[in-house]
Chain A
Amino acid sequence: MVLVDAITDRQTGFGGAEESSGPARRSDFAAPAPKGASANTETPLIRVLLVLVALGFLTLFIVIPLVAVFVQAFSKGWAAYFSALTDPDAISAIRLTIIVAACSVAVNLFFGIIAAWTITKYRFPGKTLLVTLIDLPFSISPVVSGLVFVLLFGLQGFFGHWLQAHDIKILFAFPAILLATIFVTFPFVARELIPLMQEQGTSEEEAALSLGASGFTTFLRVTLPNIKWGLLYGVLLCNARAMGEFGAVSVVSGHIRGETNTMPLHIEILYNEYQLTAAFAVASLLALLALVTLVLKAVLERKLERKR
């Protein structure tokens, strides 16, 4: 065996780097940070102090408001709580909220998968721009999200006169509420799927195709099972936001009691009428939804973690 100093760089030419587009693998040696390691951490006093500040902050800003919702809701007993929830206006608000959320989740689920598929399985110019545009509703004020539909369908809007002439009601009715909700929840599913599908790469799809599967079969039997938990996660977040959306819906709903009021809007009306207990009773349902969402999210995250 001979090595001449002039040629030792040969090894580096193929030191294990691969030219194929296999899935990027995470480094295995990124060990979790040592907890409570001695040489590498702060003094016990500082540690305790930091934990206390963190817990204090979370308690003050998150736990207390959350607890307050439930305490206020039950402040006049179970009977008052249930009568607030069984009020016809409350029931109609709950019904509308569920329908709107179900529709927008279904629609965004479908298009979220398609968008994520397009973005992660192909290479084309302008992809970054497309991702940015899909993200756009995230950073737009909900009020502006509602306003755009007023400008489109309102009486002074672009289609206002035409809609009125044909007796089609969009604004201050179900269609606008649904559109506004779809708008604000547009990115949720796609956002959740894109990093997941990116990480998984395309080699399993290629394998399926080389074994003779059609494109749709490949999606159904190879891609979909791999993304199902991420998908469910996206649906959960999408649903939570759809049910809780306030600003955008508030602008387009017209606040017609028993007709175009969703749960958040109903809460606003009750609160402004000083029916605090009733407002918090309805709010407690939404708070419960948030808690359930987070518990399921934690469960799903652990499942996703194990998948990796």
Chain B
Amino acid sequence: MASLSNTLRFREPSVIPGFGLTFGLTLTWLSVIVLIPLAALILYASRVGFDQFIAILTATRTLNALKLSFGIAFAAAIFNVIFGLIVAWALTRYEFPGRRIADAIVDIPFALPTAVAGIALATLYSPQGWIGQFLAPLGIQVTFTPLGILVALIFVGIPFVVRTVQPVLKDLDPELEFAAATLGATRWQVIRKVIAPTLLPAILTGFALAFARAVGEYGSVIFIAGNLPNISEIAPLLIVIRLEEFRYADATAIAVIMLFVAFIMLLIINRLQRWTEARG
């Protein structure tokens, strides 16, 4: 009397009802909102033709835009790793007045609309702005230069490193450090040999998240960048410009590259997060 045949089945049986309904709805909705539109992008790109696709991507203006986007996103992510670590360290390890507020402030770039951040940064760093007025006499021009893009991308990336490193730092068993200290390690050795290896997966995750976000960022950049072709024109902006010129093929080709990078980054981030959890 076999109660349930051991035939091939899609999922392991569960006592909780509703799998068919919820799985079906999830898949349908995911398809309608995300998968079909993205498939449209790929389909459109496949119509462009390989030669034209390559020609678009190797055009000087496109190349410069991509180089600028990836290069500055990378620099901003590095910057955020360094300062994000210091912020995370200070917030978890030390008690100081205003610590709670500082901790809350870290999330502002998540919540503040990019356009708001964009106009605020552009105003602040203009030669007459609060910050720009001190930089102008030194010959440092921020607005309408790649430096401005860097400032904007640092802003949007701040929370990522802090928020990935913080929980790992918090869970780090203090006895590990005591143990290392009793074994005669100096503080610097403890940090290098005990703390740093534990934090590494989280740091890389934070870096990847900040980089992925920065590569695609649009709103906070366009106001401060000035958008001079080949100098301060980022890839997402070039997509918008090509669209406005009705050069859909050009827009699509650049978008496919960005989508590809986004997907790769997502896979890397997933790996890193699993690594982080395994270490935690």
Contact = CB atoms under 8 A, between A and B. Distances in A.
Given A32-B170, A123-B11, A209 B119 contact: no
Contacts, number: 313
A1 interface: no
Contacts of B61: none
Contact of B25 (A37, A111, A179, A289): A111
B109 to A, nearest CB: 7
A144 B219 contact: no
The secondary-structure label for the interface of chain B is helix
Nearest to A218: B16
Nearest to B175: A31
B106 interface: yes
Interface in B37-76: 37-38, 40-41, 43-44
A294 to B, nearest CB: 6
B216 A140 contact: yes
B196 interface: no
Interface in B1-52: 10-12, 14-19, 22-23, 25-27, 29-30, 33-38, 40-41, 43-44
A290 B112 contact: yes
B11 A62 contact: no
Contacts of B155: 61-62, 65
Interface stretch (A10-18, A79-87, A224-232, A276-284): A276-284
B12 A123 contact: yes
B44 A151 contact: yes
Contacts of A35: 93-95
A148 B246 CA distance: 14
B116 interface: yes
Interface string A102-122: 000000000100110111011
Interface string B100-128: 00101111111111111111111110000
B108 A286 contact: no
A246 interface: yes
Given A117-B22, A215-B17, A283-B120, A294 B40 contact: no
Interface residues of A, number: 108
Question: Which has the most chain B C-beta neighbours within 10 Å: A122, A141, A179?
Answer: A141
A286 B118 CA distance: 13
B228 interface: no
Interface in B156-194: 158, 169-174, 177-178, 181, 187
Interface stretch (B138-146, B198-206, B264-272): B264-272
Contacts of A124: 10-12, 19, 23
B11 A141 contact: no
B136 interface: no
Contacts of A54: 83, 86-87, 89-91, 102
A78 B55 CA distance: 54
B218 A141 contact: yes
A154 B44 CA distance: 12
A32 to B, nearest CB: 7
Contacts of A247: 114, 218-219, 236
B112 A31 contact: no
Contacts of A136: 34, 38, 262-263, 266
B232 interface: no
A143 B236 contact: yes
B92 interface: yes
Contacts of A130: 26-27, 30
A9 to B, nearest CB: 27
A47 B98 CA distance: 15
Contacts of A267: 115-116, 119
B90 A250 contact: no
B34 A51 contact: no
A206 B17 CA distance: 10
A252 to B, nearest CB: 10
Contacts of A183: 33-34, 37
Nearest to B38: A148
A63 B29 contact: no
A64 interface: yes
A298 B37 CA distance: 35
Given A62-B155, A139-B266, A143-B216, A42 B243 contact: no
Nearest to A180: B37
B86 A202 contact: no
A143 B240 contact: yes
A205 to B, nearest CB: 5
Interface string A71-99: 01000000000000000000000000000
A218 B118 CA distance: 46
A250 B241 CA distance: 12
A139 B37 contact: no
Contacts of A220: none
A54 B41 CA distance: 42
Contacts of A162: none
10 contacts: A60-B131, A124-B23, A133-B30, A137-B34, A141-B258, A151-B40, A158-B44, A218-B16, A244-B111, A283-B119
Interface of A: 30-37, 39-42, 47, 50-51, 53-55, 57-58, 60-66, 68-69, 72, 111, 114-115, 117-119, 121-125, 128, 130, 132-144, 147-152, 154, 156-158, 179, 182-183, 186, 202, 205-206, 209, 214-216, 218-219, 237, 240, 243-247, 250-251, 263-265, 267-268, 271, 276, 279-280, 283, 286-287, 289-291, 293-295, 297-298
